[in-house]
Structure 1
Amino acid sequence: MESAKHAGDVAVAVSRSYGAEVMFTLSGGHVFPLYDGAVHEGMRIVDVRHEQSAVFAAEATARLTRRPGLAVLTAGPGITNGVSGVATAHFNGSPVVVMGGRAPKSRWGSGALQEMDHPPLFESITKLAFTGGGADSIGQDVEMAFRTAIAPHRGPVFLDFYMDHLFSPAPEHEAETLTPSPLEPDPDTLAGIARLLAGAERPVLVLGSDVWMDRAEDAARDFAESLGLPVVPNGQGRGILPAGHRLLATRARGMAFTQADLVIVAGTPLDFRLAYGMFGGRDGAPQAKVVHLADAPSQLATHVETAAAAAGDLSVLFWGLSAACIEAGVTPRSFESWTDRLAEASAAAVAGDAELLASDADPIHPMRIYGELNRVLADDAVVIGDGGDFVSYAGKYIEQRRSGCWLDPGPYGCLGTGLGYAIAARIARPSSQVVLLLGDGAAGFSLMDVDTMVRHRLPVVMVCGNNGIWGLEKHPMQMLYGYDVAAELQPQCRYDQVVTALGGGGELVTSPKEIGPALRRAFDSGVPYMVNIATDPQVAYPRATSGI
């Protein structure tokens, strides 16, 4: 039965029933009924300055709240501007629903403004991309989009609507909002993994982003602690074991991966970040056996031979493995000497870094920035990385004290995520510090969205490592060719003045002794504030091409 509601009202009401609380968008006439629906349904609207930031903000919302994020994009260029954000959500397994406008059905094929068939653009980077059937089916269409996005393995869904359908009356829709049934792992496979652990001497457990997204962080920590397994976190797996934990092997990562005889990788792909799943094999030692655990069968590695693989709800997987390991007689004593060796290597690495973390070198060494930043970060600070070399240092020297407090672009490596991520983080975590780490290259992609932060009163501390180059490209080109091209940026460019001009605050820092006071001013300011720090362009992050 038809009601007085239009299709935009129904679409937003269904979105809210699935936990979407904020609509990220950039104003466009094709989607006005969705805005009207947000007003009627009490959904917050945050309008940005570039559509990529809307999708990045929706993705960060999903990753921080573990509820689906929502972005609304107008037709044509509004939607094509969001493609990189959707691709990033695809590679990160983020449950994001992107709703798009579409030229009117009544004019389709006659050359209406921004007439374009959008779903084919998204077919390879979404779980589902489709056009709504009409005003009468809009409730079912939106429900299908959200159900698909949150089902394992999570990911983005694109749905567009003909403009005239959105403006039309639509029947109310009572969404069922069913929780996907957990996928149960095979008990025999878990028993086999337990036997592998029983026979191992040097195991390592890798905890990836899907452990956090699957709400399995407590089960994962219990599993690691009950067996005394050294842990290397990856992505949003950071913080599941807090900084300083005796089993945390982040600072001994190279030793852990090259000397391990068994590596259990949970909740992340065996991609370039993890040496494509090729561990061990150094100094005459055999290759390590690899076990892959994922939330869905589609995520299990096929490019490398694994000793075992299991898919299912990751909490259930860890609980089942714990029980199987007790049956197999695995205890923390089995790995004490290995854990002690890694702890010693970690302590030595920390001691070896102390000088650079406090360095008074001029120009500023990037590590000095992290030495200062670690002194002022709260336990629940949300730290966001958007950059190359500068953010690589953050991944090494900032260790989270709580889970769910780290965001980076993930394996797709898309620069420009930072402002959208920071906008979402400030909304999702209103009482926490939000720190955005920007390389000067990355700053050029999205800095205009400081205006969004100012208009919506979203204070964020931005720290820009400004070395005046594309460091991730310049140094390798010099090594390969003896010269570089297309790798220079303006030295000491005043990105802080851009922030100030847009209504925030900021300053340029050129002395290491100025870093700490500048950071404190930034946190005290109550506005979007950039600490723009001139760093040494000759310093390159010591990167290993193997992913180890």
Structure 2
Amino acid sequence: MDGGQIVAAALKAQGVTFLYTLVGGHISPILVAAQQQGIRVVDVRHEATAVFAADATARLTGIPGVAAVTAGPGVTNTLTAVKNAQMAQSPVVLIGGAAPTALKGRGALQDIDQVSLFRTVVKWSAAVRRVRDVGPALNEAFRQAQSGVPGPVFVEFPVDLLYAEPMVRQLYGAQRGGRSLGARAVQAYLRWHVNRLFAGSQRPYEAPPAQSLVLDLPAPAQVAAVAARLAQAQRPVILVGSQALLQPDQAPALAQALTALGAPIYLSGMARGLLGRNHPLHVRHQRRAALKEADLVLLAGVPCDFRLDYGNQISRRARYIAVNRSREDLTKNRRPDIGVQADPGAFLRQLSAQQVDGERWAPWLAQLQARDRERNAEIAVQAQSPSAGINPLHLCREINAALGADSIIVADGGDFVATASYIVQPPGPLTWLDPGPFGTLGVGAGFALAAKLCRPAADVWLLYGDGAAGFSLMEFDTLVRHHVPVLAVVGNDGGWTQIAREQVEMLHSDVATVLAQTDYHRVVEGLGAVGFKLDDPELAAETLAQAAAAAVTRPVLVNAMLGKTDFRKGSISM
């Protein structure tokens, strides 16, 4: 087996079904061998999209997503997407091509120090220099990606490790400068180098069993201590984050555990939709007020970062309990009264086995539910307000009504997507995909691509801001070529509205925040997809229904011409 075949065999053994890539000469043997192994090779139009797709694959399946990109610019183009995966704690394996081993540092095409470049954004990295190390390096990459706090890893494979040995020997053995003493010395060195390159690689490669997520289980005494505090609480709040969903197959058991606990629950990140749409314990609005009034707050897989005002949203009088795989996140900005370094999902499942009487919290839960109803009523009234274009609240309500039980929502944008987060309700576990705490724009097409590939029966709705759409709209070519039907809705208000809200008011200038209300529906039509223009609010439900029908077989984009509202005034995050 050559190096490319070993890479493919190792990926197959790890349960990888999709390899996301943008083709390049440094990685061609990997792509060909992966296809021969039955791994579906999905080629995209930008390397960042490949990593975004790998990220979403990991979140939805629990198996690390894999992207392979060519050397130099191919690798550097992934940097933002890799950092996004790191901050989202998503296990991603990035394979990078590299210049031939004998030409490192000699000015070879696209030869840069890739490992150093990625050192601060990955958990682990390796530059492989012998064929016999190809398989072990990949196995270690999968182990590292899933251990402790999951995250991205990077493995570099020089191109001369990936081709068959006879071809590499032929290339290195070419005559270089005649028969002079210097030329003979160079050829002797190259023969030695190739011998070293392939030494020990003649033994058949046997891929080990697939790695799996290692659970950090809590100590029984810690679970009992938290149960005792919970039993004493009068106004508890549980906030569940993405880290609790690292085992997708355990989502139903986690939902049952939260139901058994009986405390009011807020969901964030990948945990959105965990309890379905109308669960009585799930509270959606006025989270800041609830945290201030609570006498016990349990953060399960959520750090005290900017999303919780660095811990200031939690009352200083409340008992604060944190459960997190990361020791750093466990104490970020605020030290908990009880800190448990463990898997949050496993912790909650064990906590639910304790005897806790949730009936005593009924008045507190009723108070929070009343606030939810009041806020929903306010949004309904605001959705009817006249606007120069379509009211975004009205459009989001229509999207929410159009979602089916098998829908997955991908969120990629600023103002429009943040508005949707108040209104659009994911129908079930693992049906909401957003970038995570890095707030990266451009995840949309990659996330939607992976969501439809991983769950072919699902209806994938991609909610785009018009600014965010510019990052990945070209990937509709990818969706068309690979026959991946998704339904995108662009909230087109002609601007970077989330920024403009604060900039115009504070600095009295709209510089760099204005966009054209472009015909994005015509753009995707040029790429082979189906486009709809929506500029009449009364036709919103009908247009979405037509788009959903078309999206059964082809990618679709609805270009919704929005008006401006004050719904999210003053909402900028720092």
TM-score range, shorter chain: over 0.9
The 1:181/1:536 distance shift into structure 2, 3 A limit, reads closer
Alignment partners' CA distance in 2, 1:205 and 1:378: 28
1:528 aligns with 2:535: no
Q: Distance in 1 between the 2:533 and 2:226 partners?
A: 53
Aligned residue for 1:507? 532
Alignment RMSD: 1.8
**Residue number among 280, 283, 293 corresponding to 1:249 in the alignment:** 283
Query: 1:413-453 CA deviation, whole Å, 9 max, x = no partner?
Result: 11011011111111111111011000010011111111001
* Aligned match of 1:313: 343
What is the alpha-carbon distance in structure 2 between the residues aligned to residue 528 and residue 344 of structure 1? 40
Distance, in Å, in 2 between the alignment partners of 1:187 and 1:299 is 22
Aligned counterparts of 1:543 and 1:240: Cα–Cα separation in 2: 29
Give how far 1:296 is off: 4.5
* 2:521 alignment counterpart: 496
Tell me the distance in 1 between the aligned counterparts of 2:215 and 2:526.
Answer: 50
TM-aligned CA distance change 1:227 to 1:133, over 3 Å: same
Deviation at 1:192, TM superposition (A): 2.2
**Secondary structure of 1:167's match?**
coil
> What is the SS of the residue equivalent to 1:71?
strand
When residues 544 and 538 of structure 1 are mapped into structure 2, their CA distance, relative to the original with a 3 A threshold, is closer
Task: Please name the residue that 2:252 is paired with.
Answer: 218
CA contact (8 A) 1:147 1:177 kept: no
Please, which of 87, 94, 97 is the counterpart of residue 93 of structure 2?
97
Q: What does 1:444-523 align with in structure 2 at a 5 Å threshold?
A: 444-490=470-516, 492-523=517-548
Q: Which has the larger radius of gyration?
A: 2
Measured in 1, the distance between the counterparts of 2:95 and 2:394 equals: 43
Specify the alignment match of 1:430 in structure 2: 456
- 1:240 match: 274
In structure 2, C-alpha distance between the alignment counterparts of 1:264 and 1:214, rounded to whole Å: 20
1:200 aligns with 2:233: yes
Q: Could you tell me which amino acid in structure 1 is paired with residue 434 of structure 2?
A: D
- Residue ranges of structure 2 left out of the alignment (5+ in a row): 166-200
Alignment size in residue pairs: 534
Q: Which residue of 1 aligns with 2:178?
A: none
Which TM-score applies when normalising by structure 1? 0.94
Q: Secondary structure at the match of 2:239?
A: strand
CA contact (8 A) 2:502 2:572 kept: no
SS in 1 for 2:435: coil
Tell me the distance in 2 between the aligned counterparts of 1:482 and 1:361: 23
Alpha-carbon separation, structure 2, partners of 1:308 and 1:476 = 38
Alignment match, 1:341: 367
Give the CA deviation at 1:243: 1.1
Question: Superposition pairs for residues 144-293 of structure 1, below 5 Å?
Answer: 144-169=140-165, 170=201, 171-215=204-248, 216-281=250-315, 286-293=316-323
Displacement after TM superposition at 1:299 (Å): 3.9
Q: Read off the aligned partner of 1:202 and give its amino acid letter.
A: R
SS at match of 1:159: strand
| Residue 223 of structure 1: how far off its partner (Å) | 3.2
SS at match of 1:276: helix
Distance 2:79 2:310 in 1: 26
Cα distance, 1:77 vs structure 2: 0.3
Aligned AA for 1:534? M
- Change beyond 3 A, Cα 1:488–1:86: same
Whole-Å separation in 2 of the counterparts to 1:298 and 1:259: 26
Alpha-carbon distance in structure 2 between the residues aligned to 1:50 and 1:35: 16
Q: Which residue, out of 298, 301, 314, partners 2:331? A: 301
1:72-87 alignment to 2 at 5 Å? 72-87=68-83
2:543 maps to a residue whose letter is: A
The one of 356, 374, 393 equivalent to 1:367 is: 393
Structure 2 Cα separation of the partners of residues 133 and 274 of structure 1: 45
Question: Secondary structure, in 3 states, of the residue corresponding to 2:26?
Answer: helix
Give the letter for the 2:427 counterpart. Answer: R
> Alpha-carbon deviation of 1:541?
1.8
Q: Is the 8 A contact 2:50 2:446 kept in 1?
A: yes
Percent sequence identity over aligned pairs: 36
Instruction: Name the CA distance, whole Å, in 1 between partners of 2:498 and 2:470.
Output: 15
Taking the aligned partners of 1:502 and 1:99, their CA distance within structure 2 comes to: 29
- C-alpha distance in structure 1 between counterparts of 2:90 and 2:50, whole Å: 14
CA contact (8 A) 1:57 1:424 kept: yes
Work out the CA distance in 2 between the residues paired with 1:412 and 1:181. 25
Aligned to 1:138: 134
Instruction: Classify the secondary structure of the residue corresponding to 1:222.
Output: helix
Distance (whole Å) between structure 1 residues aligned to residue 570 and residue 57 of structure 2: 30
Mean Cα displacement is larger for which, 358-367 or 338-347?
Answer: 358-367
- Provide the C-alpha distance between the structure 1 equivalents of 2:96 and 2:257, rounded to a whole number of angstroms: 43
Distance 1:291 1:479 in 2: 39
2:436 pairs with 1:401: no
Give the letter aligned to residue 246 of structure 1: P
The separation in 2 between residues aligned to 1:366 and 1:280, in whole angstroms, is 31
Deviation at 1:315, TM superposition (A): 4.0
After superposition, give the CA deviation of every residue in 1:382-427 in whole Å (9 maximum; x if it has no partner): 1001000100012111112210111011100110110111111111
1:387 paired residue number: 413
Distance apart, 1:287 and its partner CA: 4.0
Runs of at least 5 residues in structure 1 that lack an aligned partner in the other structure? none
Q: Which amino acid aligns with 1:388?
A: G
